[in-house]
Every structure is written in C-alpha cells, then in structure tokens.
Amino acid sequence: MPHQQVKFYQTGTLTVGNRLLDKAQRTVQATMDRSNSLDSGHRACQGCGEALGARYAIDAAMRATDNQLIAANATGCLEVFTTPYPESAWRIPWMHSLFGNAPSVATGIAAALRVKGRQDVRVIAQGGDGGTTDIGFGALSGMFERNDDVLYICYDNQAYMNTGVQRSSATPGSARTATTMPLGAEPGAEFDKGKNVPLIAMAHGIPYVATASVDRLHDLEAKVEKAMSIRGARYIQVFVPCPLGWGSKPADTVKVARLAVESGLYPLFEAEYGELTSATKIRRKVPVADYLRLQRRFAHTLKSETQLARLQAVADNNIRRFGLIDEQGD
C-alpha cells in the first residue's frame, strides 16, 4: 500500500486516523458512495471478524471495478449468515453453489463473461479456511494453475466454525477445537501439521498473493485494490478472529487480530509471480502469550511451558523467514 509519513496515531493502537490521510487514500468505508455490498441486517455473531473483513474487501473490490463485480461464495458462515432465504445481505450479484467448488464456479463465471465480451465485469470467489484449504483445495489449485481471472479471498478463522468449531488444515498447533480437545499429553491441535496456502498459492506462480488482517483494514483494502488491478488468478488470505470459536470477547476482535500480527504468528506479506515483494514490519513485537491470553482456545497453553515455547518458536520463525523486524529497529 502507498505509505504516507504520519506522526499521529490513535491512542494505544498504532492505527492511523483516517482523517489524517489524503482523501484519495481514505478508507472506502469513509465515503458516502460506498457500495455497502454486504449490507446491514445479516446474522453474523457479535464481533465477527469474517463479516468485517468481507465488508471491507468487497466494498474495496467494488470501488476498484466501478461496481462491476460478481461473487461466488463457498458454503460456510459467510454464506449462511448473509443469505437465509428470503433475505440476502448482498447487494452485488452473488452465487452460492457448494462447499468445495467456489473457485470452479468463479472460473465458470469468468469464462462466461469473457465469451460475452464483458471483461469489464470482474469475479471474486470467497470462502472460509475449511472451504479453501481443505475441501475446496483441489478446485482452488486448478483455478490457480489455469490462471483464471479470479480473485479468491479466504477468510481464515482457523477452523470450521459453521459446523461447530472443528479442526481444519488452517488450525494452528495447540488450538482447542471440537475435534482437537485440550486433553492428553499433547492438548489441542498437533504441531507441525496443516498447510500454508499463501505459500502454496505462490508456488503456482500466480500474479498476486497476499495475506491481510482485520486489524488493518486499510491495508486489506489496498491489497484488494491492487489485486483488482491485475488480471489472472489472485489470492488474498485474511485473518479474521471468531469470538465464538476462539472464546474471545467480541469487543476484542480487532485487538486479537493485531496481536496475531504483532507477535509474528500471522505474517502479512505480498508476493507477485511466486516472489515475495513485501512484508509488513512488526512495529512493537509482543510475546505470543499476549495474543493467546485473550482466547479460551489457547487457555491450556499458558499453563504449559513446552507449548508456549513452541508457539513462540513458530512466531520467531515467521519473523526470521519473512524479515518482519528490521535488524536496526523501526
């Protein structure tokens, strides 16, 4: 995203006040003519990170495409809480088909638009981490490999929330889910399992891959906008806390997301054609315990030095691997 030197942060947050930015750089949500693509009245839980992320992402995509957008949605929370028939919170052409086929449906939409000469209309596919990293993974890889003109957005809340918080391949080590209970010698999800889909997306050599987090929505908007300026397969994975599944306070959603980034557990980066092009620096590194403490899914880790150390090692490894902290400091 374009950076502007600013001196004033909102108290305690390091968030730049929107009013301090140039008009062109202000959030889409600050404009009166925003599309409200995901309208109010939907049935997401209080503090839902996915609803927040989707609203910012889709409105940004709408601005970037001059409101010429069609979305395909995988089965999951986002689908269920937005479209309980006969209501729909979507103010864009939107389609839900199945859990595992959103990337393919989006490919079909893009193909139809191409054959009809409507290349001004752009296509987004979206789903949760279960729909993306597990059941829809084959379809996602196919869409990437063909370099179809689709932006796929994965809202990553690290488990199957819609079905009642079961483990997915995006669930981090030690996390409690309904299928990885904090029992036995190694409580919670096992370490050294799961997959890193942004890195796998990069391995497909697609034009654009990014990770984002709902603690910095402006950054998310900028990444979506950038993605929409590119043709071909693109992938953005957004970190979206789930108060219900994580046992965090609804009011803490943004705080939890920020601590995930600032601890190094959720590295934010961009890549083009398989090459890392930028990584968001951590401004004030925090110990992982600060992040874990706000979530009941990690409660047992605070009592286990081994687990705590392993989680800290994951964060430190991310910091080293993606260069999240400058040697000289900020």
Binding mask 113-132 for another protein (x = CB under 8 A): xxxx----x-----------
Rg, the chain, Cα only: 19
Among 136-144, 193-201, 207-215, 251-259, which window interacts with another protein (CB under 8 A)? Answer: 136-144
Using the rule CB under 8 A, is 111 a contact of another protein?
A: yes
- In angstroms, what is the minimal distance from the CB of 303 to another protein? 41
Using the rule CB under 8 A, is 79 a contact of another protein?
A: yes
Question: With respect to another protein, which residue has the nearer C-beta, 101 or 157?
Answer: 101
Angstrom CA distances, 250 to 95, 223, 257, 267, 297, stand at 29, 25, 12, 23, 14
- In angstroms, what is the minimal distance from the CB of 208 to another protein? 21
What type of residue sits at position 79? E
Using the rule CB under 8 A, is 67 a contact of another protein?
A: yes
Query: Is residue 90 within 8 Å of residue 35, measured between CB atoms?
Result: no
Residue 154 token pair: 């994965």
**Candidate residues 142, 232, 274, 287; the one interacting with another protein per rule CB under 8 A:** 142
Nearest to 39, CA basis, from 92, 106, 84, 77: 92
- In angstroms, what is the minimal distance from the CB of 50 to another protein? 16
Using the rule CB under 8 A, is 185 a contact of another protein?
A: no
Among 9-17, 109-117, 176-184, 246-254, which window interacts with another protein (CB under 8 A)? Answer: 109-117
Using the rule CB under 8 A, is 91 a contact of another protein?
A: yes
Using the rule CB under 8 A, is 38 a contact of another protein?
A: no
Residues 248-254: contacts with CB under 8 Å, at least 24 apart? 248/47, 248/294, 248/295, 248/296, 249/47, 249/294, 250/45, 250/46, 250/47, 251/47, 252/47, 252/294, 253/47, 253/48, 253/49, 253/52, 253/214, 254/52, 254/214, 254/215
Using the rule CB under 8 A, is 68 a contact of another protein?
A: yes
DSSP tag of 38: B
Enumerate the H helices of 204-242 as residue ranges: 217-228
- In total, the chain counts a number of residues equal to 330
Binding to another protein in span 143-182, by CB under 8 A: 145-146
Using the rule CB under 8 A, is 90 a contact of another protein?
A: yes
- Interface residues with another protein (CB under 8 A) are 67-70, 72-73, 79-80, 83-86, 88, 90-98, 100-101, 104-116, 121, 138-139, 141-142, 145-146
